[in-house]
Structure formats: C-alpha cells, structure tokens
C-alpha cells in the first residue's frame, strides 16, 4: 500500500509524467522485442521531431520519472530507458542525443545507452567509460 499511497500524494503533473513514462517504457520494451532496431530508429525519429520552444516541464523532472518507472517494467534495459526518455523530452521540445557505446571489460565487450541534453548526460551515467558508436537524434 506504500507505493500507491506515495503515488496518490504526488502532484497531478508528477502522476501524469510517471504514467506516461510507464506506458512509453512498456511500448519501447515490446518494440525492442519484436522489431528490428532500424525500424525502431525510424519510429523514434518521427516521435522526437522537436517543433518549438515550450519547456513546460523541467528536464530534470522528465528524466527522474523514467528510472523510477523502469523498476516496474521487466528487462527495461538502459536502451529502453534512454529511448523512452528521449520521446518524453521531445514531447516538451527538448533536444536530446541518445548515444550507444561499447567498452571492453575483462576481454568482454559491454554495450551501454545513455541520453544527453545540453551537452551533459541526463540519463544513464556510468562509471565505466564507453566509446560511442551510434548517435540517435544528434542535431
């Protein structure tokens, strides 16, 4: 009952952002499961076309909601979270750049996705240094 009680105490705006994040995370998770990544890139590209200047919701609040709700989506990877956050940010006309990088750790290649806005990492920080191999949404 603690989670529901905490949710109900939030402002309408916070509830809306959390519900929207939850929905986007599920949609992205299912898309990653059934569609080729090239198709997902095209869909996300259309959804993230920024059209003007209307930052009604602070960037920090938008990027806060995605990790919170990703706990309730099975196998929500860093890529799932970054894609969902990129769509959320675009909905408020924030430009962002999703990066996918690799790192060699104990002879194994590891991949990681993170989201940048205003030349800083806003989602998916890591202690490991990753070499970017793909940028999505770079302006």
Domains of the chain, by residue range, sit at 2-136
Residues listed for the chain: 139
- Cβ 66 vs Cβ 123: under 8 Å: yes
**What are the start-end ranges of the H helices in the chain?**
2-9, 12-34, 37-47, 59-70, 78-91
Interval 10-69: pLDDT, tens = 899 999 999 999 999 999 999 999 999 999 999 988 888 766 667 788 999 999 999 999
- 72: how many CB neighbours lie within 10 A of its CB? 13
pLDDT at 91 over 80: yes
């Amino acid at each position: 009952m603690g989670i529901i009680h905490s949710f109900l105490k939030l402002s309408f705006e916070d509830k809306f952002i959390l519900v929207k994040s939850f929905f986007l995370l599920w949609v992205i998770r299912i898309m990653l499961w059934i569609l080729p990544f090239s198709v997902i890139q095209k869909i996300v590209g259309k959804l993230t076309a920024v059209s003007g200047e209307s930052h009604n919701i602070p960037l920090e609040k938008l990027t806060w909601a995605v990790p919170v709700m990703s706990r309730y989506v099975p196998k929500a990877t860093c890529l799932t979270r970054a894609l969902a956050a990129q769509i959320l940010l675009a909905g408020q006309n924030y430009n962002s750049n999703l990066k996918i990088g690799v790192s060699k750790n104990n002879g194994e290649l590891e991949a990681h996705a993170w989201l940048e806005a205003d030349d800083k990492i806003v989602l998916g920080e890591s202690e490991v240094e990753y070499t970017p191999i793909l940028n999505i949404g770079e302006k």
